[in-house]
C-alpha cells in the first residue's frame, strides 16, 4: 500500500471558484446565452408594446406617444449587448483567406493581435461613451419627445452594456496574452481563430440536434 504524505497529497487550488469558472469556454458561452436571451426579451417586449400602440391607434384613436422613443432605447442597448455575444461567439468579420495557410505560431500571434485590437476598441468606446454620459449629466438633457425622458436613464443602461463589452474584450485579451506568453499557441488558435464555413455549419447542425 502506498501512503501519501501531507506534502505529496494533492493541494486544493487557491484560485477562487468564480475565477476558475470564468476561465472556461462553457462559462463564456453561458454568459453569451444569457446576454442573447436578455436582448431577445427586450425585443419581444418592444414588439408587444408596438402592437399595443398600433391597435390603440386603429381601434381607439389613442397613442402612447413613445413607441419610436422606446424602440431607439432598446436598439441602442441591444446592439451593445450584441457586441458581447458576437465577441464571445467569434462572429465578428475577419479576413481569413490566408490565415489557415500560415504556420501555427503566426496564426496564434495574429489571433492574439485581433483580441488586443478588440480590447483597445472596447476601451475607446468606453472613453467616448463616458463623454456622452458626462455631457448629459451636465446639461440635464431630456428627450425631445412627449415623454421627455431624462436621457441619463437610457444612456446609463447603454453605457453599462458598453462597459460589459469592454470588460469581456479585456478578459479575453488577457487570456490570449497569457496563453501566448506560455507558448500555448494551439489553445490560442482554438479559442480565437476566425470561424470558417465548416465550423459554422457544424455549430448549426449541433444546435439543430439540441432543439
Residue-by-residue pLDDT tens, the chain, 211 positions: 444 444 444 343 333 333 333 444 557 777 778 888 888 888 898 889 888 888 888 888 887 877 788 888 998 998 888 899 889 888 877 777 787 788 889 989 999 999 999 999 999 999 999 999 999 999 988 888 888 889 899 999 999 999 999 999 999 999 999 999 998 989 888 888 877 666 666 666 776 777 7
Model pTM?
0.76
The answer to whether residue 211 is domain-embedded is no
The answer to whether residue 78 is domain-embedded is yes
Residues 119, 123, 124, 129: is their CA dihedral positive or negative? positive
The answer to whether residue 193 is domain-embedded is yes
The partner residues of 150 in beta bridges, in order of sequence, read: 142
Quick check: 39 and 73 in contact, CB under 8 A? no
Residue 57: per-residue pLDDT: 86
The answer to whether residue 5 is domain-embedded is no
Residue 26's domain spans which residues? Answer: 17-93+102-197
Q: State the Cα angle at 172 between 120 and 132, rounded to 5°.
A: 40
The answer to whether residue 10 is domain-embedded is no
Residues 107, 111, 116, 120: is their CA dihedral positive or negative? positive
How many C-beta neighbours within 10 Å does residue 70 have?
Answer: 20
The answer to whether residue 204 is domain-embedded is no
Quick check: 100 and 122 in contact, CB under 8 A? no
DSSP 58-122: HHHS---S-HHHHHHHHHHHHHHHHHHHHHHTT-S----TTGGGS-HHHHHHHHHHHHHHHHHHH
Taking Cα atoms as reference points, which of 161, 157, 153, 160 lies closest to residue 136? 153
The answer to whether residue 50 is domain-embedded is yes
Instruction: Give residues with Cβ within 8 angstroms of 114, minimum separation 6.
Output: 94, 192
| Number of domains composing the chain | 1
The answer to whether residue 6 is domain-embedded is no
Instruction: Give residues with Cβ within 8 angstroms of 193, minimum separation 6.
Output: 90, 96, 99, 107, 111
Amino acid at each position: 500500500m502506498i501512503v501519501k504524505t501531507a506534502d505529496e497529497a494533492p493541494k486544493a487550488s487557491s484560485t477562487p471558484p468564480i475565477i476558475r469558472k470564468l476561465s472556461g469556454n462553457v462559462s463564456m458561452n453561458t454568459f453569451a446565452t444569457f446576454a442573447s436571451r436578455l436582448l431577445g426579451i427586450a425585443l419581444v417586449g418592444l414588439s408587444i408594446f408596438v402592437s399595443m400602440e398600433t391597435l390603440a391607434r386603429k381601434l381607439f384613436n389613442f397613442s402612447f406617444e413613445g413607441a419610436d422613443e422606446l424602440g431607439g432605447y432598446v436598439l441602442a442597448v441591444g446592439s451593445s449587448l450584441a457586441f458581447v455575444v458576437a465577441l464571445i461567439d467569434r462572429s465578428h468579420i475577419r479576413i481569413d483567406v490566408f490565415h489557415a495557410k500560415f504556420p501555427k505560431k503566426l496564426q496564434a500571434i495574429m489571433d492574439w493581435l485581433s483580441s488586443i485590437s478588440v480590447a483597445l476598441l472596447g476601451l475607446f468606446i468606453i472613453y467616448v461613451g463616458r463623454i456622452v454620459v458626462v455631457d448629459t449629466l451636465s446639461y440635464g438633457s431630456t428627450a425631445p419627445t412627449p415623454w421627455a425622458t431624462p436621457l441619463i436613464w437610457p444612456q446609463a443602461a447603454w453605457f453599462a452594456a458598453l462597459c460589459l463589452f469592454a470588460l469581456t474584450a479585456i478578459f479575453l485579451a488577457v487570456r490570449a496574452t497569457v496563453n501566448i506568453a506560455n507558448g500555448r499557441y494551439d489553445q490560442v488558435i482554438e479559442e480565437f481563430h476566425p470561424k470558417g464555413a465548416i465550423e459554422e455549419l457544424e455549430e448549426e447542425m449541433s444546435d439543430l440536434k439540441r432543439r
